[in-house]
């Protein structure tokens, strides 16, 4: 699969345009929050950094996310490392995150000292995207492939989990199930080491695996997709009627607009 890379910052650093648009877009026409995701999170980080540095403390930033959230976590870490030199440590822990940028993006993250742990499930296809699936082979011809706009590189260290090691999971093919966050947390909880058996005393509740999937073996007798919002989200108002509640202001999404070019060198 191919996607479009666009330049951010200086040099050859490029990231997937769709991820960058989600992170940096904002719309002046919206009735709600007119700030981009980048502006919102960086405002909070700067406020906390100023507060704790003012107390003479060492400040670290850890960003985490699953799937698209993992991609946005990388972009946030890149921006923070580029623009906030007072941060002592920056790290990212992602679950099932796709590739985000090119080789120059990976090299820049390493140069800035951002520590990244990518947790991936062997059977999950999302961490193999975007770009071509044979990216690992192309590392051998780095000088040629770095010029191709559809070549992506992962960043950081990888912790690979295998669904076949859990005795509680079905052996069925389920693309959505492979990518489910609860599967990631279940396998992480049972992980001991490479090629070692699933931890027998794992503590995470097994029922959570089937919260929004059907991945547990039938012998456990846990219903599939068991989680439901009480009363399907309706609330009983003062007039004796069941209605949909008003959303909190901060929970109302803003529409996408044109993604501004962020200055990561400021």
Locate all alpha helices (DSSP H) within the chain, ordered by sequence.
Answer: 17-24, 37-54, 68-83, 103-111, 135-138, 142-145, 175-179, 181-190
Catalytic residue at 186? no
Catalytic residue chosen out of the listed positions 38, 179, 186, 254: 179
**Which domains, and CATH codes, for the chain?**
1-156 (3.40.50.1820), 162-237 (no CATH)
Counting every residue written for the chain, the total comes to: 266
Catalytic residue at 164? no
Dihedral of alpha carbons 146, 84, 71, 249, sign: negative
Catalytic residue at 239? no
Catalytic residue chosen out of the listed positions 124, 154, 166, 213: 124
Catalytic residue chosen out of the listed positions 20, 36, 66, 67: 67
What is the chain's pLDDT, residue by residue, as a tens digit (266 residues)?
A: 456 888 988 788 999 999 999 999 988 877 667 889 999 999 999 999 999 999 999 999 999 999 999 999 999 999 999 999 999 999 999 999 999 999 999 999 999 999 999 999 999 999 999 875 455 555 555 555 555 555 789 999 999 999 999 999 999 999 999 999 999 999 999 999 988 999 999 999 999 999 999 999 999 999 999 999 899 889 999 899 999 888 776 666 555 545 555 565 55
């Amino acid at each position: 699969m191919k996607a479009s890379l666009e330049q951010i910052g200086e040099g050859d650093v490029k990231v997937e345009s769709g991820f960058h648009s989600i992170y940096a877009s904002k719309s002046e026409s919206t009735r709600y929050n007119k700030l981009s995701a980048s502006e919102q999170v960086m405002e909070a980080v700067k406020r906390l950094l100023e507060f704790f540095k003012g107390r003479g403390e060492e400040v670290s930033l850890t960003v985490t996310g699953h799937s698209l959230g993992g991609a946005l976590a990388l972009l946030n870490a890149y921006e923070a490392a580029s623009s906030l030199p007072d941060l002592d440590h920056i790290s990212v822990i992602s679950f099932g995150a796709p590739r985000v940028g090119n080789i120059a993006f990976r090299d820049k993250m390493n140069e800035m000292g951002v520590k990244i742990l990518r947790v991936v499930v062997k059977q999950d296809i999302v961490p193999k995207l975007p770009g071509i699936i044979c990216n690992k082979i192309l590392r051998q011809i780095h000088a040629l492939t770095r010029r191709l706009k559809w070549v992506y590189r992962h960043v950081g260290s990888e912790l690979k989990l295998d669904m076949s090691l859990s005795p509680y999971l079905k052996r069925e093919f389920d693309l959505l199930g492979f990518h489910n966050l609860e599967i990631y947390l279940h396998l992480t909880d049972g992980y001991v080491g490479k090629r070692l058996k699933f931890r027998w005393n794992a503590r995470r509740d097994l029922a959570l695996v089937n919260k929004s999937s059907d991945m547990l073996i039938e012998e456990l007798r846990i219903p599939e997709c068991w989680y439901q919002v009480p009363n399907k989200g309706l609330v009983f108002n003062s007039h004796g009627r069941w209605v949909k509640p008003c959303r909190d202001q901060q929970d109302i999404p803003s529409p996408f607009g044109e993604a501004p070019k962020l200055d990561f060198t400021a």
